[in-house]
Amino acid sequence: MLWPKLVCFVVVSFALCQPYQALPIYQETLSACPVNFTRLADKCLLVDTSWLNWYEADRHCHSINAGLLSIENETDLKAINDWLPVVAPNLLEFWTSGNKLNHPSKKLDYFWQSTGDKALYLPWADGEPTSDRGDCLALYANYIVSLGELVMEDHRLNVKDCTQWAPHICQTEPVQFQTHLCLNPDAFHEVQVPVWS
């Protein structure tokens, strides 16, 4: 849904620009996250605080050209745990794309719905996995109340019934584009053209 808008924008930009003379010297490749997403390493993330079940959360992310969060390694998890207290300081759990919906008989085989890859890095919370509680994975932070304040530990994975409610994190890849400078007799225009891989 986003790509037709980008193509339309590029076509309109070139039509308005009507290049009189292009300066190929001024051309750089950049990448950026979609509006409202935050760049975290090589991902663009968005926290949605709406309480949805896993299926609704997955559909919501797809509706904004994204997928639910997948965690590939310890670096990803550390960056997420550093970021969550800033953007969602009091939320204890979030849906991820992790699930075993296509393989319910295999107790510990989870897959990242957003990438289709088998989940090889599974930073479990204490006492997890407990596959009898469900088929979907959420990030969950244990907490204590100390001196009237909520003190949260780092978020770790726990197994949850897919029909229960939780906020969620959507992820997408940064969009790469090239910036071109177009000149015409009256003005110059900077045009950003998506790079198609």
Does the pLDDT of residue 197 top 60, yes or no? no
Q: Which two tokens stand for residue 166?
A: 């939780």
pLDDT digits (tens, 9 = 90+) for 7-63: 455 555 555 554 444 444 456 677 889 999 999 988 999 999 999 999 999 999 999
Do residues 97 and 115 lie in contact, with contact meaning Cβ atoms separated by under 8 Å? Answer: yes
Q: What is the pLDDT of residue 5?
A: 56
Q: Domain limits of the chain?
A: 17-33+175-197, 36-173
Tell me the DSSP string of 115-163: T--B-----BPTT---GGG-SEEEEE--EEEETTEEEE---EEEEE-TT
Q: How confident is the model at residue 155 (pLDDT cuts 50, 70, 90)?
A: very high
DSSP 5: H
More confident residue, 149 or 123: 123
pLDDT digits (tens, 9 = 90+) for 81-98: 999 999 998 899 999 999
Q: Which two tokens stand for residue 52?
A: 């949805």
Residues 6 or more apart from 49 whose CB is under 8 A from it?
Answer: 88, 91, 167
CATH no. for 36-173: 3.10.100.10
